[in-house]
Amino acid sequence: MSVLPIITAPDPRLKKKCQPVEQVDSQIVQLMDDMLETMYAAPGIGLAAPQVGVLKRVIVVDVGHDDQRDPRFFANPEVVWHSDDVASYEEGCLSLPENFSDVVRPAAIKLRYLDRDNTPQEMEADGLLATCIQHEIDHLEGILFVDHISALKRSMILRRLTKAKKAHRPLAKYATA
């Protein structure tokens, strides 16, 4: 397994829609494994393939704890049902480092996907797992969590990231209290 470089905003690749996976073969399994290692190293609880420069519909998540990891792998994930109830979580993103905002999403979902063995699966999720999966699926559509917040706050975050990128400085120098 390898730790891959994570693309940060405002990179145009993060706004592109991803292509479906034809089948989960050894190459896709390797991508999933590399993405999981990258996510753990960052550290994070979810990662989508476009965040590592691969425009394929692949995500990995793990909302478990360090002593009880629970990695999950999804190819071609699709929400086939969502609750009318909503939940708000403070979201962050490895592609928008050191930036957080409350985002409202459906509280529960039903998901259809291919697993690591290329077997079609369905699962239900709620709470943090549902939020994380929806966040990562958004990446596959070219949507970032900042697209769910006010234009003013989104603009401030993206300006700060652009400034940090141009200066080639760590983002902490631009963090606000």
Distance (Å, whole) CA 152 – CA 154: 5
| Identity of residue 84 | D
Beta bridge partners of 91: 101
Q: Which of 14, 56, 76, 4 is nearest to 35 (CA)?
A: 4
Q: What angle do CA 140, 85, 58 make, to 5 degrees?
A: 15
The rounded Cα 173 to chain-centroid distance in angstroms is 25
| Identity of residue 107 | A
What's the chain's Rg over C-alpha atoms?
Answer: 16
Query: What is the 8-class DSSP label of residue 123?
Result: E
Is 78 noted as a catalytic residue in this protein? Answer: no
Q: Which of 22, 90, 124, 136 is catalytic?
A: 136
Where in the sequence numbering do the catalytic residues fall?
A: 136
